[in-house]
Amino acid sequence: MNDKKYLIVGLGNAEQQYAGTRHNYGFEVVNAVATNLKATFSVDRLAYVARATYKGRTLVLVMPTTYMNLSGKAVKYWLNAEEIAPDHCMVICDDLDLPLGSFKIKPKGGGGSHNGLNNIIEQLGHSNFPRLRCGIGKDFAMGYQVDYVLGRFSSEELKLVDPCIERAVEAVKSFVTAGLQHTMNQFNNTHSTSETTTKEPQS
């Protein structure tokens, strides 16, 4: 296993009709990581794949082209193909149980109601991989969960989502350089608010 190599997986549905939906939050974050690191995706086995380097680390960025509920096939393939240990694989996805504008990083755990995470756990045979779960909230009436997760963010919601994506990119970069525990300590207790959507000057 190469301890300088990391697999960064964004979950979503690859078909064009799902672009920009809440359920494709993981795709949006991984796309942003690629843009930040000037990497370009190409079609590869079971996924869109891009490669980037950052501070001596190699990042293999993956967006599965399987349906969401078969995401584990792509994750298992690319972990094996790139000889990457599961603790060097971060899976990024949407989360109904977290408020919009927030995310939480966990080292392992169950998939809850998320079909993508559950399939990864099933395919790998364990749940010992880090995940970054991006909150989409629960602003829907009973029985309308599917419509909600496959819907798109409003312009007002994007004022919380966009800075959250920016912070998630920084969290990924921290994960591959400073490690998981440091990254959780730094990023898990912060979240976006409407007052923080304007970009601060870079120091």
DSSP letter string over 180-192? Answer: HHHHHHHHTT-B-
**Torsion angle of alpha carbons 190, 120, 63, 39, nearest 10°?**
70
Specify the residue for token string 């007052």: 195
CB atoms within 10 A of CB 149: 19
Q: Tokens for 137?
A: 């909230």
Question: How far apart, in whole angstroms, are the C-alpha atoms of residue 186 and residue 60?
Answer: 23
Question: How far apart, in whole angstroms, are the C-alpha atoms of residue 101 and residue 192?
Answer: 5
* 3-state DSSP assignment of residue 1: coil
Question: How far apart, in whole angstroms, are the C-alpha atoms of residue 88 and residue 74?
Answer: 16
Q: According to DSSP H, which parts of 125-199 are helical?
A: 145-149, 155-178, 180-187
23 is catalytic: yes
CB atoms within 10 A of CB 201: 4
Q: Which of 23, 88, 114, 191 is catalytic?
A: 23
Q: What are phi and psi of 169, to 5 degrees?
A: -60, -45
List the catalytic residues: 23
